[in-house]
């Protein structure tokens, strides 16, 4: 595994933990962080033995990611800002394209780019101390890493407009009520909760997980008939896998299945 300056990557029992490690800057995103996160997730997608689930979180006790690095961003030209935005979108696509689920463990502030980064993950668990928001309008800006698009897909257009237009942060409990996060847990229990879920996912058939993730992503905005055809095609393809044969055999033999991803 490569070494990084602004993040850390650890793998244990097929579960990767990617930590943004700038606690003195509240883990703010700059060009270096975006590049290293992208490289890390590309590397995890190609790792041997393969990763079966990943956790994305922030170092320290205050922030997941408090937003973009304003000191760096404020000096950008329009062309440089476009490149910065493109880098954020590229990272989001890499996370979404990963064959394994990525869980955001939001341990504090997830504002601006931090909220956008969390929304790139398959789902979000939040500490009861977490705060979410898209406050870019307070800087004379708008979301630039997919916030205007992913937020509306998660919480609905009217609620997304409210959050983007007011720039107001919301509590973890309100984010839960809006459907932005899957669960809110006591701050001290967040790490253990997310690891428990990630390990459970890692124990399942990895090809079935990968196919399910891909079909759900591609079918979400598609015509229902087309989306169901995508599902049927993927479903039938799994019948040619060793994992399907192992899973059904284990079920009839009343024992835990041992999946190999083949």
Residue 2 lies in a domain: no
Q: Which residues sit opposite 68 in a β-bridge?
A: 29
- Residue 97, C-beta contacts closer than 8 angstroms, at least 6 positions apart: 45
- State the catalytic residue, choosing from 5, 48, 116, 183: 116
- Of 178, 169, 74, whose CA–CA distance to 112 is shortest? 169
- Of 108, 12, 128, 109, whose CA–CA distance to 68 is shortest? 109
- State the catalytic residue, choosing from 13, 136, 189, 246: 136
Over 90: is that where the pLDDT of 2 sits?
no
Report percent pLDDT > 70 for the chain.
Answer: 100
Over 70: is that where the pLDDT of 253 sits?
yes
Residue 246 annotated to the active site: no
Q: Are residues 122 and 91 in the same domain?
A: yes
213-220 average pLDDT score = 94
Q: How confident is the model at residue 1 (pLDDT cuts 50, 70, 90)?
A: low
Q: Are residues 37 and 65 in the same domain?
A: yes
Q: Are residues 219 and 194 in the same domain?
A: no
Tell the residue number behind the tokens 């847990």, with chain if given.
185
Residue 1 lies in a domain: no
Residue 55 lies in a domain: yes
Residue 5 annotated to the active site: no
Q: Are residues 119 and 187 in the same domain?
A: yes
CATH of residue 22: 3.90.226.10
Q: Are residues 17 and 97 in the same domain?
A: yes
Cα distances (Å, whole numbers) of residue 227 to 36, 138, 151, 220: 34, 39, 22, 7
Bond into 90 cis (ω within 30)? no
Q: Are residues 44 and 168 in the same domain?
A: yes
Q: Are residues 72 and 18 in the same domain?
A: yes
Residue 180 lies in a domain: yes
Q: Are residues 185 and 88 in the same domain?
A: yes
Query: Of the residues 167, 185, 202, which one is the last residue of a structural domain?
Result: 202
Report yes or no: 127 and 184 within 8 Å, Cβ to Cβ.
Answer: yes
Q: Are residues 177 and 74 in the same domain?
A: yes
What's the pTM value of the predicted model, to 2 decimals?
0.94
Q: How far apart are CA 131 and CA 102, in angstroms?
A: 20
As to burial, measured by CB atoms within 10 angstroms (0-12 exposed, 13-18 middle, 19+ buried), residue 115 is buried
Domain ranges, residue 234: 206-252
Residue 260 lies in a domain: no
48-65 average pLDDT score = 96
**Domain total of the chain:** 2
The pLDDT, as a whole number, for residue 261 is 86
Question: What interhelical angle do 78-97 and 31-45 show, nearest 10?
Answer: 20
Q: Are residues 111 and 238 in the same domain?
A: no
Over 90: is that where the pLDDT of 198 sits?
yes
CATH of residue 248: 1.10.12
Query: Of the residues 187, 202, 217, which one is the last residue of a structural domain?
Result: 202
**How are strands ordered across the β-sheet holding 183-185?**
7-12, 15-20, 53-58, 102-106, 123-127, 183-185
Query: Of the residues 202, 217, 242, which one is the last residue of a structural domain?
Result: 202
Q: Which residues sit opposite 102 in a β-bridge?
A: 54
- Of 214, 198, 168, 178, whose CA–CA distance to 105 is shortest? 198
Residue 12 lies in a domain: yes
pLDDT digits (tens, 9 = 90+) for 110-157: 999 999 999 999 999 999 999 999 999 999 999 999 999 999 999 999
């Amino acid at each position: 595994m490569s070494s990084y300056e602004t993040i850390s990557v650890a793998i244990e029992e097929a579960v990767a933990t990617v930590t943004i490690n700038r606690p003195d800057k509240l883990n703010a995103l700059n060009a270096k962080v975006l590049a290293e996160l992208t490289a890390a997730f590309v590397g995890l997608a190609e790792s041997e033995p393969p990763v079966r689930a990943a956790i994305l979180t922030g170092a320290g006790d205050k922030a997941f990611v408090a937003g973009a690095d304003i000191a760096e961003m404020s000096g950008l030209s329009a062309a440089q800002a476009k490149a910065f935005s493109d880098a954020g979108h590229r990272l989001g696509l890499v996370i979404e394209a990963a064959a394994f689920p990525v869980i955001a463990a939001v341990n504090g502030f997830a504002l601006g780019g931090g909220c956008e980064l969390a929304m790139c993950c398959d789902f979000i668990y939040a500490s009861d101390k977490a705060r979410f928001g898209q406050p870019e309008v307070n800087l004379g800006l708008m979301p630039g890493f997919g916030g205007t698009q992913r937020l509306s897909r998660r919480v609905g257009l009217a609620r997304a407009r409210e959050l983007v237009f007011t720039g107001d942060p919301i509590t973890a409990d309100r984010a839960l009520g809006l459907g932005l996060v899957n669960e809110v847990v006591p701050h001290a229990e967040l790490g253990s909760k997310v690891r428990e879920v990630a390990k459970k996912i890692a124990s399942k058939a990895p090809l079935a997980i990968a196919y399910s993730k891909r079909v759900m992503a591609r079918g979400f905005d598609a015509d229902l008939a087309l989306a169901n055809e995508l599902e049927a095609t993927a479903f039938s393809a799994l019948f040619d896998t060793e994992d399907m044969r192992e899973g059904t055999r284990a079920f009839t033999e009343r024992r835990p299945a041992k999946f190999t991803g083949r």
